[in-house]
Amino acid sequence: MIILGLTGSIGMGKSATAGLFRDEGVPVYDADAAVHALYAEGGAAVAPVEAAFPGVSVDGAIDRMKLRDRVLDDADAMKRLEAIVHPLAGDAQKRFRDAAREAGAAMVVLDIPLLYEAGGYAYCDYVTVVTAPADVQRERVLSRPGMDEETFQNILGRQMPDAEKRARADFIISTAHGFAYAADCVRAIVALMNRKVEEANS
């Protein structure tokens, strides 16, 4: 089974591109969704995160906006949070990979925003980076509810620069040309991965 990492900085179109892989029948692990589940009522991260940052839970779930306000401008607080959440998310990812392998999947996609920053690329056979021009990225991000320039810059400061990600990638998909173009790129990557699996099994 081939493991394809999928990453890209905020506003590049990574989540939409992950959906294109799903459209091709590829199992996709969504790291953001996994973290949402950890923060939801009954989630494994609720108690330890509340213990580390008292007051960020509401009705048994982590309030993501309250948590963001506590950690966004505090590098030490972000490290404490990551030390709690990353191992739990890693367990969820391993369960996903194991289930896909048992189901006989030829390939899976790991959709992880901080794939390079958090070291998740080590689990991947190949990495695809989703990109777009900086002006397009900025316009997309600032159009989101609750987003402002300061928050955008803080998030960018925690992410590896787009140029460095592209330099390390095996595949690059630009969403600047529209998602029909991105879909063509996804289909080409899936076809290539399937050929590699067939060759390895022949």
For 103-137, the pLDDT digits (tens) are 999 999 999 998 998 888 998 999 999 999 999 99
* Average pLDDT in the chain: 94
pLDDT of 5 reads: 97
Amino acid identity at 71: V
Q: Cβ atoms within 10 A of the Cβ of 197, count?
A: 15
CA distances from 45 to 34, 42, 107, 124 (A): 11, 9, 29, 25
**Residue 169 C-beta-side C-alpha neighbours within 13 Å:** 21
Q: How far apart are CA 44 and CA 54, in angstroms?
A: 16
Kindly report the pTM of this predicted structure. Answer: 0.89
Q: How far apart are CA 18 and CA 5, in angstroms?
A: 10
Secondary structure of the chain: what % helix, strand, coil (to 5)?
55, 15, 30
For 143-159, the pLDDT digits (tens) are 999 899 988 998 898 89
Query: Residue 72: is its pLDDT beyond 90?
Result: no
Query: Residue 43: is its pLDDT beyond 90?
Result: yes
